Chains A and B, each alone.
Chain A
Amino acid sequence: MSLSEIIKNLLSGLPNTLFILITSFIISSVIGLLVMWVSLQNDKFSRVISKIYTGLSRGTPPLLVLLLAYYEFPRLLSFVGIDANDWSKNFFAIFGLAIGFGGYMGELFRSAYNDIDSAQFDAAYSVGMNKKDVLKVIIIPQMFTLALPNIQTIFLSFLKATSLVYVIGIADMYRDATTLANASQGVFQLKIFIVLGIIYWIITLIFEFLFGLYIKKHNYS
């Protein structure tokens, strides 16, 4: 099997990998912000809840979360009368990854929030801004700046974790590689997997470059 054939075959799974990567990352960010918001509440109960969720998401292998999301979540939904058997596999993959990484995202945002000087709140209140505006104009932009290096790290872990969605039978790049390896009776396995590794590496480098460009452009450090 020629090299170009392998590359062509593997790249056919790339759009799906990228789609899962980006959607699950966005949903996970929303979960992370929610977890942060809950963990910053004053009552003990919500702090405990957010701590438990963070511990759960950080202590379980993403593989296991994906399997549970795909095989057991529909069963859970059927208890409340929702039939999820025909839903797309992509949905469960995205859901599983987003839930599995939500704890990391929450920690990331929380540490960024804690790094912001609380005097800035007081200063903003003293000039008459209300809480919503303070958050929108002053706090969240700074949080984003502070969190950006960590966001990059997590984004790249997401990219690597998307290779695990093969367990629920989604045709991403990794699954293409195994199918291709099996189709050739295992003769080209090593070649195929090295090519796959290089493709993942190049994608990582591209995203690293893009993040670097963004950070440089906005002069964050």
Chain B
Amino acid sequence: MNWNFMFQSMPKLLSVLPVTIFLSFIGIIFGLILAVPISIIREKRIPILSQLFDIYISLFRGIPIIVQIYIVYYGLPRLLFLLNQNHPVTKGFTMPSMIIGIVAFALNSSANVSEAIKSAYHGVDKSQYDAALSVGLTKASAFQKIIIPQLIPNFIPNFTNILLDLIKDTALVYNIGIVEIMGQANILASFSFNYLEAYLDALIIYLVVCFVFANLLSLLENKIKKHVFA
């Protein structure tokens, strides 16, 4: 055990922490943006589209994320090339790994978030909606004032799990050449074979990050709950 190395490599690992945070946050934000319309389509049971999204969700939840990352890594540039074959920019165009990582995480988290929205929505008592309509609220305002405020605190615990899973999954993107915590740990360790020290550093960082976000979100949940149910 080389304590000296462990202390020295900690700041070097922390210097790439923003990459991990950035990737998981942008991933989950785009995932959320995608998930809302998907959930609406599935809840409204719009024919064809809702079946398609059922398959979409089942696919993205059934395939390991590393395989998804590679499919995007190899597939996205080719898809863009096919879509725009004659454009000069797409010729010999290599995509930045960061964009590939973000696309893969956004697609993956959109499926998970959509499921979380679904379960949060079903967790709200349906009769409240009818009650709101019976006292003369319009459908839109019943939804906005009664359903959504209750849906959000229901949604946060699952959302937290998805975010934490995503943060942990960012450990895989060093495969496509993004230097985040795991990649940096591998690089630092490979100079002098101090794998244990580098990995333990990485482990500490992941633990702290996950702990902080879990607590922040549960704080937020309590705050919203107080605000809604007070």
Contact = CB atoms under 8 A, between A and B. Distances in A.
Interface of A: 55-56, 58-64, 67-68, 71-72, 75, 156, 159-164, 174, 177, 189-190, 193-194, 196-197, 200-201, 203-205
B196 A64 contact: no
Contact of A197 (B68, B164, B200, B211): B68
Interface in B158-177: 164, 168-169, 171-172
Interface in B205-219: 206-207, 210-211
A110 to B, nearest CB: 15
Contact of B182 (A63, A156, A200): A63
A163 B69 CA distance: 13
Contact of B66 (A75, A163, A204): A163
A59 B61 CA distance: 20
B49 interface: no
Nearest to A163: B64
A162 B200 CA distance: 22
A190 B78 contact: yes
Contact of A205 (B58, B66, B70, B171): B58
A196 B207 CA distance: 31
Interface of B: 58-59, 61-68, 70-71, 74-75, 78, 164, 168-169, 171-172, 182, 195-196, 199-200, 202-203, 206-207, 210-211
A64 B182 contact: yes
Contact of B168 (A60, A177, A193): A60
Contacts of B62: 156, 160, 200-201, 203-205
A161 B172 CA distance: 12
A67 B207 contact: no
24 contacts: A55-B207, A59-B164, A59-B210, A60-B207, A61-B171, A64-B171, A67-B195, A68-B196, A68-B199, A71-B195, A71-B196, A72-B196, A72-B199, A75-B196, A159-B64, A160-B64, A160-B65, A164-B64, A174-B67, A177-B67, A194-B71, A200-B64, A201-B62, A205-B62
Contact of B59 (A160, A189, A201): A201
A174 B199 contact: no
A216 B203 CA distance: 41
Contact of A62 (B68, B168, B196, B211): B168
A64 B186 CA distance: 11
A103 to B, nearest CB: 12
Contact of B195 (A58, A62, A72): A72
A189 B196 CA distance: 33
Nearest to A71: B195
A72 B199 CA distance: 10
